[in-house]
């Protein structure tokens, strides 16, 4: 936490209007490093989501005694239809609720 505070203060001094790590990388290191950083962040997000879905499916398979591939489909559908992120967006209907 202390490292985040120190790093955050330094970033704010160098780039007062910056909002994200990728903006900082673009500002300091240019387009190529920005694209590399973006690729690493997207890969990490995909790997984290895949691990989360696999864990949910394994737990559902063990607890409910259903086939693993069925649990994977349910886990993907559950994560895909739930609102995430901004609290203002959580009150908006998801695509699945508009079908019913």
pLDDT band at 43 (very low <50, low <70, confident <90, very high): very high
Query: Mean pLDDT over residues 83-99, rounded?
Result: 52
Question: 19-23, 60-64, 85-89: which has the minimum mean pLDDT?
Answer: 85-89
Specify the pTM. 0.58
CA dihedral of 31, 34, 35, 40, whole degrees rounded to 10: 170
pLDDT tens-place string over residues 50-72: 888 888 888 888 888 888 888 88
Sequence-distant (6+) residues with CB within 8 A of 19 are: none
Tokens representing residue 88 in the block: 């203002």
């Amino acid at each position: 936490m202390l490292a985040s505070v120190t790093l955050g203060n330094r970033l704010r001094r160098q780039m007062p209007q910056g909002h994200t790590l990728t903006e900082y990388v673009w500002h300091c290191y240019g387009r190529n490093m920005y694209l590399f950083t973006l690729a690493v962040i997207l890969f990490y997000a995909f790997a984290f989501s895949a691990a989360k879905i696999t864990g949910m499916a394994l737990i559902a398979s063990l607890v409910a005694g259903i086939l693993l591939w069925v649990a994977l489909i349910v886990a993907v559908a559950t994560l895909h239809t739930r609102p995430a992120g901004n609290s203002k967006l959580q009150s908006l209907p998801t695509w699945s609720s508009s079908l019913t």
